[in-house]
Structure 1
Amino acid sequence: MGFLCSFALSTQFLLLSSSLFSTILLTNCLPSNHSNTTHHHHECHQHESYALLKFKESFVISKYASYNPFSYPKTLSWIPSTDCCHWDGIQCHELTGHVIGVDLSSSQLYGSMDVNSTLFSLVHLQSLDLSDNDFNHSQIPAKIGELSQLKHLDLSHGNENTFSGEVPPQVSQLSKLLSLDLRSYTLDPLPYDLINNLQLKPSTLTSLTQNSTRLKHLCLSFVTISSSLPHSLTNLSSLQTLSLYKCELHGEFPLGIFHLPNLTVLNLGGNQYLRGMLSNFHSRKLVSINLPGTSFYGTLPTSIENLTYLSWFAISNCNFYGTIPSSLGNLTQLAQFHVDDNGFEGKLALDMFWKLKMLNTLDLANNRLSLFLKESAVNETTLPPIQWLGLGSCNLTGEVPTWIMNLTSLYHLDLFHNNLHGEIPYFLFTLENLTHLHLAENMLEGQIELAMLSRLKKITFLGLGGGNRLSFIEGKTVPI
């Protein structure tokens, strides 16, 4: 059973482009609850059927209540005269018939959560998924703590979380929890920052990490915590996912978290005042390290070359410095590499990245790097499928590299503020997926036919000024 946790990102970093969201799945941080067990030895208990029907009655169906485009009203199958163990989203224990799973994710439910909801009488519940419904900014009831058998709790939402107020301290009493998801997440960039509607007291977070010692997945992105992280997190040896994007965290990040043996996903981006260094990694299972917009600092540890499963590495707009080790070229699973807006320096051979056959985003912009290109070493037939290429302010010299013409999926190209000269090559206008082309502040010259520009039908940003000596002429398109 797979666990995937998406990384909700702010408008500033919306992980830098919409293409990045092609790698982010609109999935739960929790395991899917497989409802409708094929065979039951016992029918649903009458009092549990009644409790579910009363819960259903407290909500109306609204297609606007769910963010997922594939949402549908699961409770329409909840008919009193039928066995509730066969209702959509309900799972019963095979032997006892007790309801142990309620999965109403993306069910178009709209209404307020009653503090005395009959839902909390389902004391045998092991999994509760109410994600992606609209709870009209009501609070999470304290009675959630009475569901002592809960292993999986998901109250997340695909836009701003529709629960509001303080997360009840009683959540920390759920000692059997394996996964807790209270985050906001989104599949597409939004024109605004998500609002943090939920708050989690530091004392509740500390108690949770002390009592729920079996936690594997903790997803609290966009939940306001406003504190440093408790060191008790370093004792969660089963932890696989820690997603705390934009939680207003501050202080020093506990380095021991990097030593957790099963850590797979670490998402701390958007916490401007959270400081820390990339310690030696004890878990070789890390798939994603996401730290953009934090105050993390220091050099890249040599142990990063051991992260053979690493797919996502984003440390944009931090305080890192030193060199970028060439051994990163051995991370064959790397798809996203964002180190822009730091203090990295030194000469760097760009062809080290050509070995990364999964790479679709490479952003090295705005460091103190000096990139050089072994043009003769570029095998144009085996370039990675790069869609986003950020090489602004990288001390590039010479003409615009011809190998770029082979990046046919490219939609973001930033060569801003380099030492490029010569004419703008016609092949750039054959990259029909380009939405962003930034060539300003170079030494480019020559004439550009307006008809050529018109070939870039998807372009939304075009930067050609500042230092370049270009002129525009009308004319027929030159064959390419």
Structure 2
Amino acid sequence: MWNKTTLQSLVISNNLLIGKIPALICNLQSLGSLDLSSNNLVGMIPSCLGSFSRSLHILRLAGNKLIGNIPQNYAKENALQWIDFSSNKLCGQLPRSFVNCRMLEVLDVSHNHFNDSFPFWLGSLPNLKLIFLRDNKFHGAIKCPLKCTFPQLRIIDVSQNDFSGELSSEIIKTFKSMTLSNTSHEVHFKDDFYQWQQSLVDLSMFVFPMTNKGRVMDYLESQYFHFLVAIDLSCNKIYGKIPDIMGSLNRLVLLNLSNNMFTGSIPSSLGKLSNLEALDLSANSLSGEIPQQLTELTFLEFFNESFNNLSGPIPENGQLSTFQDNSFEGNKGLCGFQLLNKCEDRSKLPLPPTLDGDKDSESGSFFEFNWMVILIGYAGGLVAGLALGNALAGDVYRLLKRIF
């Protein structure tokens, strides 16, 4: 097989292949697609795989037992569009020569042992749409010390790592492709992205071989891929406030910030994410009330803000009223019909007295009492006056009779 220099596609995925990947594979210089995923291959990735073929556009080695570092020599002007090394035992740092993959659209290195900082330098790739770094040992802050743009990024999954620090507004601003200006652009975006996905490879290739799936993978496997726009930062050590500018990414379908150390209130700007279907803010230290603006998320299918420090009533109108108690549990100050802690009906409670109200009440009672005294006195005086008048009239009559 290694002598077939005109071979253009080699797909031997989902078998029981064992042993190492032979270096002779690099003789296949006409190869455009190489898929050895979901086997039992061991050893290191041949160092020639990054530069042996200028026509190679799909390289998938996922779901094996490969070890060591990724080859560092990715040649300039290579045609790689999809690199998938996920679910192996690879380690070290990501090769900086990935910046030579100017046509790269998908990079998946999830479920390995990579120990590196956030690869902000990938932001210079003009066509990169999907980044999966899930379940590794990436660390440090998620930021861009230099200018980066990520001009086409649709999905970024960096969950289950050791990222820390605050989530800056600057990195969110770089995700411009997640911002929608009007509805007509959204239709164009969905059609364009679906055509890209179909032209790259069949949809069945997107079923990633993983044992510990996350929310993003659930959506990928349910054929949401053609329009999925997602940010998954869950299971890290990110702290500080959730930036208000997150609400400007109105193409987002999924936002997962759970299992971090976020503090402060839930930004009301999240109510502007009109395409959002999944929002997970659970297991943080968020406080304050649930913004009423979240009731405007009419497409929300999954919602979780459990185990925070939230308080006040759960908004009863809109989508939030459709979720069960497990979406809100673990917030001692929260009340609502979904929880054992019911909210008091404030409309039926007596209004608390005010100082001015007490004075007015006392003044009115005193005024009313004075008038009652006056009326009683007037009535009594009238009766007494009439009786006295009768008596005096009789005496005057008898006196006048004696005189005359």
TM-score by length of 1: 0.54
Distance in 2 between residues matched to 1:394 and 1:322, nearest whole Å: 14
Q: Which residue of 2 aligns with 1:41?
A: none
* Cα displacement (A) at 1:139: 3.3
CA separation of 1:406 and 1:347: change in aligned 2, threshold 3 A: closer
* Cα displacement (A) at 1:362: 0.8
Does 2:26 align with 1:145?
Answer: yes
Distance in 1 between residues matched to 2:48 and 2:324, nearest whole Å: 48
CA separation of 1:421 and 1:198: change in aligned 2, threshold 3 A: closer
Q: Which residue of 2 aligns with 1:435?
A: none
182, 185, 197: which one aligns with 2:61: 182
AA matched with 2:236: C
User: What is the root-mean-square deviation of aligned Cα atoms in Å?
Assistant: 3.0
Cα deviation per residue 1:230-259 (whole Å; 9 max; x = unaligned)? Answer: 222234333222111022001334431233
- Where in structure 2 are the equivalents of 1:275-424 lying within 5 Å? 275-279=140-144, 281-303=148-170, 304-310=172-178, 311-349=229-267, 351-375=268-292, 382-403=296-317, 413-420=326-333
Percent pairwise identity = 26
AA matched with 1:301: S
AA matched with 2:97: S
Q: Which residue of 2 aligns with 1:162?
A: 40
CA separation of 1:235 and 1:274: change in aligned 2, threshold 3 A: farther
CA separation of 1:403 and 1:272: change in aligned 2, threshold 3 A: farther
Distance in 1 between residues matched to 2:11 and 2:341, nearest whole Å: 57
Distance in 2 between residues matched to 1:144 and 1:412, nearest whole Å: 55
Distance in 1 between residues matched to 2:252 and 2:177, nearest whole Å: 8
Distance in 2 between residues matched to 1:309 and 1:220, nearest whole Å: 25
AA matched with 1:419: K
Contact 2:40 2:65 in 1 (8 A): yes
Distance in 2 between residues matched to 1:162 and 1:352, nearest whole Å: 47
* Cα displacement (A) at 1:287: 0.4
* Cα displacement (A) at 1:329: 1.5
TM-score by length of 2: 0.63
CA separation of 1:242 and 1:275: change in aligned 2, threshold 3 A: farther
Unaligned 5+ residue runs, structure 1? 1-118, 185-195, 429-438, 447-480
**More helix, by proportion:** 2
SS of equivalent residue, structure 1 residue 396: strand
- Where in structure 2 are the equivalents of 1:23-172 lying within 5 Å? 119-131=1-13, 133-157=14-38, 161-172=39-50
Structure showing greater Rg: 2
SS of equivalent residue, structure 1 residue 320: strand
Unaligned 5+ residue runs, structure 2? 179-228, 345-404
Distance in 2 between residues matched to 1:237 and 1:412, nearest whole Å: 47
* Cα displacement (A) at 1:360: 1.6
Cα deviation per residue 1:194-223 (whole Å; 9 max; x = unaligned)? Answer: xx5222x32x5113x247744222111112
Cα deviation per residue 1:370-396 (whole Å; 9 max; x = unaligned)? Answer: 243344x56x5x533222212123332
Q: Which stretches of structure 1, 4 residues or longer, exceed 6 Å deviation after superposition?
A: none
CA separation of 1:296 and 1:412: change in aligned 2, threshold 3 A: farther
AA matched with 2:277: N
Distance in 2 between residues matched to 1:241 and 1:360, nearest whole Å: 23
